[in-house]
Chains A and B, each alone.
Chain A
Amino acid sequence: MTKVSMKVNGKAVSRDVPDNTLLVEFLREQLRLTGTHVGCDTSQCGACTVHVNGRAIKSCTQLAVSLEGAEVTTIEGIANDGELHPMQVAFNDHHGLQCGFCTPGMIMAGIDMVNRYQAQGKDLTEEAIRFELEGNLCRCTGYHNIVKAIDDAAGKMTGMARAAE
């Protein structure tokens, strides 16, 4: 057992966990943040995607004890005072989800790709969205509406970023 402390969705948390505890297990079992899902065991499906220190990672492939002091954001932590994140709104607007199981990972990956492309000043085209979704599997939507949702949210997030400047 090792004690690990980190900030999850803005709150300081500390737990004694077995050394082999994965971040996703830490989130789901220790913190009961069950919005982050496990859909495979080979880091392929992306249902477990969360943000660590501002970047999207697959929480099924990261040991919790390796994240001492890290800032972790999960699907439960992206709405702001009850106001949904533009990416969440876009998934509802564009019917970007059906069973909802891959959705948290899709939304976290979507936010990350928009942020990265913005930071690099690159255009997030439809082709780029599809390429960036390489690590996220969906079996329900055929990706059509996920691509549209991310594209729409990217526009809104860019608008917000400009307004903030």
Chain B
Amino acid sequence: MSTGIGARVKRKEDKRFITGQGRYTDDVRVDNQAYAAFVRSPHAHAKVTSIDKSEAEAAEGVIAVLDGRQLTGDGIGNLICGWAVSSKDGSPMNMGPWSALATDRVRYVGDAVAVVIAETKQQARDAAELVAVEYEELPVVASSTAALEDGAVQVHDNAPGNIVFDWEIGDEAATDAALAGAAHVTEMRVVNNRLSPNPMEPRSAVAIYDSAEDHYTLYTTSQNPHVARLVLSAFYNVAPEHKLRVIAPDVGGGFGAKIYIYPEEITCLWASMKTGRSVKWTADRSEAFVTDAHGRDHVTHARMGFDANGKIVGFKVDTHANLGAYMSLFSSATPTYLYATLLSGQYDIQNIYGNVKGIYTNTVPVDAYRGAGRPEATFLVERTMETAAREMGMDPAELRRRNFIGSFPHQTPVIMTYDAGDFAGNLDMGQAAADVAGFPARKAEAASRGKLRGLGYSCYIEACGIAPSAAVGSLGAGVGLWESAEVRVNPVGTIEILTGSHSHGQGHETTFAQIVGERFGLPIENVSIVHGDTDKVQFGMGTYGSRSGAVGMSAIVKAMDKVEAKVKKIAAHVLEASEDDIVIEGGAVKVAGTDKQMLWHEVGLAAYTAHNLPAGMEPGLKETAFYDPVNFTFPAGCYIAEVEVDPETGVTKIIQFTAADDFGTVINPMIVEGQVHGGAAQGIGQAMLEGVVYDEDGQLLTGSYMDYCMPRADDVPFYRIEHNKTICPGNPLGMKGCGEAGAIGTPPAIINAITDAIGNNDLQMPATPLKVWTALQAAQKPMAAE
């Protein structure tokens, strides 16, 4: 059976997971192990007036109780935001200080003020409750709306009006003019509900200090261990990079929440040096809800104008993005460059203007969660399109077709140059698979049972593989967004691929081996993927933004190109043939058209014995590549949801969910479909179930799985997935990325379907039965007030 590109190869990594031999951070236990428990603020906003540690210090098993003044006193730096966004007046963003342990003020429930290190986890937790912190409570702003009110309390002194930045993109005057001349304007107020990413493995850290070498090792739940090491070294002053090893072993899901370097990892590293003990911390779920960066939380007012033929003439968007109490690592980029640059959707729109205010509130910091800005853009654009079609009495698919971009490359007014796509083809494919033609009959059949059927579209586009580095640098990114790979061919011919990408569920150990096996004609069992350890892989940017295929695999291809060139030189020399005549196939290196050949492992051995190499050639067979893409990639697709609403209860059932995705080249359809399944479930969660809720005092009301409604098996359907495959011209494999599409494309399809069913467009996420029922009642009520 083929294991090459396009084959449904079963995952190599599964064995350890299905037998209980996965090795996650909390499974790591080292000699001299001590445990950390954090003392956290119960108040959303308060001054810290005193910390009395004496009782905790005297408790059984306690090794140390450490606070923020000690931490800053030792020179540990404040947490940073790695993307500088400027306001429209040119001023830099107003970033408030964020210490890993608060010193004099706490700004959200869960803000850490001290840490207890003890012999056992239980002793650490018990003693943490004995740390007596005196607070002087301050007024609270728990939402972006509250934070913008006149006279609202200031979360950070250097952010007047709680505004971090007031950013814009596009041409406001031209957009205003276009809207003024429009035949029809659709106006929307859209709330993109706040979510908690909830990877099933809680975050965890094991910090080990070696005093003999003055060296640190950190095992942690990271999507990007090299970036963690860079930031811990360069900004938090924990240790210089050559004295800090970061290992992200098996990681149980990320979805963005494990990109960032959090106070807990910093504190554990510092505490391991302070105490001379290895320090371990693992969040429980309640702690995860108040420390893992949240996602989304936009309030948007938008206006889209159309001419008499239904052609979009302008789109103006005003968004308030809640950033929480501090600026997380990429929090500034998420609601700006990852959001407003996609406001053109799949449509040819000549005039777009977006204004985004980033706002501080007394809530958990908000950052990228699966999709990161692109779900917010897609939800806005696709809800607006569906609404406009209803208002203008047009078929929503037809309205989209009239506005699709049909030729590429296409420059939007909001930075992006779309390189390839087939938007009409995706819609055709989705409509056929979903049997849209048969919908009226199904709707009538449902009505005969007293049920309301609805159908909703979402034609999403996203930008993945954020790049090139020079371009993102010019937009404020503090890092480059390339990827590295090293291909090591061993003397026996087996291969190790060292990659800067990190797999936390994506199946890299299989898919990366597939492209190597195909290239050199080797069984994938002969290929190992090494990742997640800064001592093994020289550098890497990690996995987020659906970048591991388009960027990570491209780096592997570039390194394989170099290996192939050297292999051909060696074989040509040994076989006394011209390099141009050498071909690699079926595990052999051959002289084309002859029976002369070397087996793959014979070339490997020749490279290392170095007995008979071309003059001047270095021994060995190992090549490295750093790949910097030329452009973003643009996965796009059409999602169609069909739902049935029970008018008596508002309970909504998803009858059919169809995805027609264009991810370019697909290496392993089984894994790609799995990514869409998971993303769609998270999208269904956002649309129908999930929502982080704070009360006005900033207390988190959804702090456990009893209150925060995660999608369960009986909340979701089987998903039907089709693949359109327009090749991405920007990278050697023609890949676009598939990790986030489901979470991006799904929510508007679901809400468009429910609003279609109930005949009321005024419905915000999550569309719980109560909200659906209430909206339905409002739609059915005769206009009594008029």
Binding site for B on A (CB under 8 A): 18, 20, 28, 32-42, 44-45, 47, 74-76, 79, 84, 88, 91-93, 95, 97-104, 107, 127, 129-131, 133-134, 136-147
Contact = CB atoms under 8 A, between A and B. Distances in A.
Contacts of B710: 44, 137, 139
A54 B236 CA distance: 51
A150 to B, nearest CB: 10
B252 interface: yes
Interface in B1-49: 10-11, 13-24, 26-27, 29
Contacts of B253: 98-99, 101, 139-140
A53 B468 CA distance: 58
Contacts of B716: 142-144
B713 A40 contact: no
A93 to B, nearest CB: 7
Contacts of B742: 142
Nearest to B714: A130
A22 B265 CA distance: 26
B225 to A, nearest CB: 16
Nearest to A82: B19
B201 A39 contact: yes
Interface residues of B, number: 58
Contact of B678 (A45, A74, A79, A140): A140
B19 A101 contact: no
Query: Looking at A74, A102, A144, which has the most chain B CB atoms within 10 Å of its CB?
Result: A144
B719 interface: yes
Contacts of B20: 33-36, 74-76, 104
Nearest to A138: B200
Contact of B704 (A40, A84, A102): A40
Contacts of B251: 99
B706 A139 contact: no
B507 A130 contact: no
Given A140-B678, A143-B711, 14 more contacts: A39-B252, A75-B18, A92-B11, A95-B670, A95-B673, A97-B14, A99-B253, A104-B17, A130-B713, A137-B705, A137-B712, A140-B253, A141-B674, A147-B718
A161 to B, nearest CB: 21
| Closest 4 pairs between A and B when the two form their complex, measured CB to CB | A35-B20, A100-B17, A101-B252, A142-B681
Given A45-B705, A99-B251, A99-B252, A92 B713 contact: no
B18 A42 contact: no
8 contacts: A39-B202, A91-B14, A95-B11, A98-B674, A99-B250, A127-B714, A140-B505, A143-B711
Nearest to A134: B712
B255 interface: yes
Nearest to A149: B18
Q: Of A32, A37, A143, which is in contact with the most chain B CB atoms at under 10 Å from its CB? A: A143
A95 B14 CA distance: 9
Contacts of B507: 98
Nearest to B14: A92
A102 B19 contact: no
Contacts of B54: none
B504 interface: yes
Contacts of B10: 92-93, 95
Contacts of B16: 100
B19 A42 contact: no
Contacts of A101: 22, 24, 199-201, 252-253
B195 to A, nearest CB: 12
B411 interface: no
